[in-house]
């Protein structure tokens, strides 16, 4: 419900889902009555999940599996599941469309949106108990970043899943896992106050250049 450019984060996900034209059923899973009441004003469905799915170690996979099971008990079954986290507001309807198209072209079972690391993880260092630095990947120490492998991170924006395969694997990291690559500027994942401030900055910069 935190506002970004005057709009709750959850609305960014809902609006992108609607604009994609692909989601026959848009369902928000939440344990929070305020969120449930709000999303109903957006003309989408709220599914109340138990409190145990709102705290660690429960995660998105558990939440999605719960939603599918509840819907099945209601006589509603689905072939494909698209997960859109509200913390990734800059994913667009076009991203959703392109991800689903790629998923279908490859007869996919699992697709995850990713973006390239801005700083290579292969140069990462760890600090031991004696406050000494050691490399995680010793073979890359001293090499330029251009000599290191290109690495990608999950950005949380889009997952497209074959429901049967997902329920069997109980993971969205299962193989074969298709990559939908997104640019850094649409891959913001808001987990902290600083992330939210950075997102606001990007929006201000975008509109100031129009």
Q: Residues with Cβ < 8 Å from 24, sequence gap 6 or more?
A: none
pLDDT, residue 210, reads: 45
**Among 56, 10, 13, 12, CA closest to 34:** 10
The answer on pLDDT for 209 being more than 60 is: no
Q: What is the mean pLDDT of residues 123-134?
A: 95
| Alpha carbon 124 to chain centroid, angstroms | 24
- pTM, to two decimals: 0.91
Tell me how far apart the alpha carbons of residues 3 and 86 are, in angstroms, rounded to a whole number: 11
Output the average pLDDT for the chain.
94
Q: Residue 16 forms beta bridges with which residues? A: none
- Residues 1-17 pLDDT 10s: 999 999 999 999 999 99
If pLDDT is split at 50, 70 and 90, which confidence band does 58 have?
confident
Q: What is the mean pLDDT of residues 36-57?
A: 91
What's the maximum distance between 2 C-alpha atoms anywhere in the chain?
Answer: 59
pLDDT, residue 208, reads: 60
Q: What is the mean pLDDT of residues 85-89?
A: 96
Half-sphere exposure of 151 (CA within 13 A, CB side): 14
pLDDT, residue 64, reads: 96
Least confident of 49-63, 155-169, 176-190, 191-205: 49-63
CATH T-level fold of 3-208: Spore Coat Polysaccharide Biosynthesis Protein SpsA; Chain A (3.90.550)
pLDDT, residue 201, reads: 92
């Amino acid at each position: 419900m935190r506002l970004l450019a005057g709009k709750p984060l959850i609305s960014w996900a809902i609006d992108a889902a609607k604009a994609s034209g692909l989601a026959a059923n848009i369902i928000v899973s939440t344990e929070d009555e305020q969120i449930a009441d709000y999303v109903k004003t957006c003309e989408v469905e709220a599914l109340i999940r138990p409190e145990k799915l709102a705290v660690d170690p429960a995660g998105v996979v558990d939440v999605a599996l719960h939603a599918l099971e509840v819907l099945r008990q209601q006589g509603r079954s689905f072939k494909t599941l698209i997960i859109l986290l509200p913390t990734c507001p800059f994913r667009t309807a076009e991203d959703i469309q392109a991800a689903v198209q790629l998923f279908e072209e490859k007869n996919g079972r699992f697709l995850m949106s990713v973006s390239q690391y801005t700083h290579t993880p292969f140069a990462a260092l760890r600090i031991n108990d004696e406050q000494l630095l050691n490399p995680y990947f010793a073979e890359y120490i001293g090499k330029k970043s251009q000599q290191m492998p290109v690495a990608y991170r999950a950005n949380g924006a889009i997952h497209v899943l074959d429901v049967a395969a997902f329920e069997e694997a109980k993971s969205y990291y299962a193989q074969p896992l298709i990559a939908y690559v997104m640019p850094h500027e649409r891959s913001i994942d808001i987990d902290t106050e600083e992330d939210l401030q950075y997102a606001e900055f990007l929006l201000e910069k975008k509109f100031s250049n129009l």
